[in-house]
Amino acid sequence: MPVSPLIVFDLDGTLVDSAPDLINALNFVLGREGLAPVPAASARKMIGAGARALIERGLEAEGRLMSADRVDVLTRDFIDFYAEHIADETRPFEGTEAALDHLSAEGFLFAVCTNKLEWLSKRLLDRLGLSDRFAAICGADTFGVSKPDPMFLRQTIARSGGDPKAAIMVGDSGPDVGVARRTGVPVVGVGFGYSMVPIEELAPDLVIGHMSELPSAVAKLHATLGLSI
């Protein structure tokens, strides 16, 4: 039986612009420690490796060292605050829903592979009315590994009912490109996300600057790489 082609998306900085709510949660916990807020332009580039890494990067930016136990406390407080404000300002990037509509009509399935916790990812996509679009929504706690561990992407593809030979990864940062490369899956990089380095320097197969460009990028990858459809 033929396998439906699959597109696996990162979440923060790829499907949704969640930076405002993540930065608000970061500055909430830093403020309780008597620290100044991290400017939005700097904090955006700290996003992508999960809540704890975001807090550690925020502390580093403030020149503050804390014990692992104290960072654990801040991480729990961050998650509690963020869960209550997860979609205050977060919205899909412009063109995302139209691109999904276009690709769905062509027979593509979709999945999410994110270093965000699974339950937070589902809550966010529920609030935005997007959850039903995805065959699987997998987070850092789903399989006990994070990107760029290739097991994470392989298991996400399997849970979606897909095949790595008919899959494409879409993401905005090093872990996304890394997990795709380690899994042998082609990858589209988005130039509007939160990468700490320009996405072009990470050498994805293609780079797009707007979600409206995704359908043509996917078509090009299928044509040039001979992916299964």
- Round to whole Å and give the CA distance between 150 and 6: 16
Write the CA distances from 154 to 22, 101, 130, 183, 188, integer angstroms.
Answer: 27, 25, 23, 7, 17
Beta strands at 16-17 and 91-92: parallel, antiparallel or unpaired: antiparallel
| Amino acid identity at 32 | R
Q: Assign 7 to helix, strand or coil.
A: strand
State how far Cα 165 lies from the chain centre.
21
Cross-strand partners of 6: 109, 167
Strand locations in 67-226, DSSP E?
91-92, 109-113, 136-138, 167-171, 187-190, 206-208
Q: Which of 10, 172, 176, 205 is catalytic?
A: 10
Q: Is 72 a catalytic site residue? A: no
Q: Which residues of 111-149 are buried (b: 16+ CB within 10 A; e: fewer)?
A: bbbbbbbbebbbbbbeebebeebbbbbbbbbbbebbbbb
Active centre residues (catalytic): 10
